[in-house]
Amino acid sequence: MTDARNGQIDAQVSDADKRYGLRLRKYIDVVVEDPFSSMLFRGAVADISPTGMRIIADQYLPVGSKYTFTMKRNPFLVLKGQVRWIRSFTNDTYQVGVLIVDANDEDRKRLTNFLELERQRLGNA
C-alpha cells in the first residue's frame, strides 16, 4: 500500500452516476473556519477530488454543517464544504468526509488542474 504522505491518485467510479474522478491522496495542511462562531482550527486534507475531500481533524464536525477550508499548501485554495460523514480516526482525531459546495469556476478549474498535474507527476515518478 502506498503511503498517503507520498501521494497517490485513484480513479474511482461511483455506482450512482458512473463518473470517473481523480482522487489525490496527499496531506495538505488546512485551516478550518466555522462561519457562525469564527472559530479556527487546524487539520489536514488526507485526500481530495474535484467534488470532495477527506479531512483529518481534532474537532468533531457535525454532519450537515458547513465550514470554510483554507489550504496552506498547493493548490492554496479556499473552499466551502459541507460535512457528509464523520468517523473516529485515532483517540483524539476524526476523519471527515466533505462535499465541496459554493466553489466558483476558477477554483474548480485550479483544483482540477492541480489534480491532473499531480496525476502526471506521480505517473512519471
pLDDT at 4 over 60: no
pLDDT band at 22, cuts 50/70/90?
Answer: low
CA distance 15 to 30: 30
pLDDT at 16 over 70: no
pLDDT band at 13, cuts 50/70/90?
Answer: very low
Domain limits at 98? 4-123
Could you identify the residue written with the cell 477554483? 107
Q: Which residues contact 84 (CB under 8 A, 6 or more apart)?
A: 52, 63, 97, 98, 99
In contact, 98 and 69? CB cutoff 8 Å: yes
Q: Which residues contact 124 (CB under 8 A, 6 or more apart)?
A: none
- Can you give the CATH number for the domain in which 53 is found? 2.40.10.220
pLDDT of residue 119: 84
pLDDT at 98 over 70: yes
pTM of the model: 0.77
User: What percent of the chain stands above pLDDT 90?
Assistant: 58
How many structural domains does the chain have?
Answer: 1
- CA distances (Å), origin 71, targets 33, 45, 93: 11, 8, 19
pLDDT at 44 over 80: yes
pLDDT of residue 124: 63
**Average pLDDT value for residue range 80-92:** 94
